[in-house]
Amino acid sequence: MTDHGRGSIEYGYVVSGDVELTVDDQVFLLQTGDAIQFAAGHSHAYRSLKRASTLLTVVAYTDD
């Protein structure tokens, strides 16, 4: 599990495949074309499901 610090925002986009994202205790199942945004200061992890997946993530940090 990773966090990127208070105030950071993470954006994820599934280019191909199926991805499971866990943020704290919540689980999100993402498929090709799905996008998500969440506060990246929370503990989180991505996991590819059943086959190879391509996931694009971007983290935006505050000036703090």
Give the chain's mean pLDDT. Answer: 90
Copy the structure tokens of residue 15: 């280019």
**From CA 24, how far away is CA 45, in angstroms rounded?**
9
What local confidence, expressed as pLDDT, does residue 3 receive?
Answer: 63
Would you say the pTM of this structure is higher than 0.75?
yes
Residue listed under structure tokens 């997946």: 53
Backbone angles phi, psi at 50, to 5 degrees: 65, -35
In this predicted structure, the answer to whether residue 2 has a pLDDT above a threshold of 80 is no
In this predicted structure, the answer to whether residue 64 has a pLDDT above a threshold of 80 is no
38-54 confidence digits (pLDDT tens): 998 888 999 999 889 99
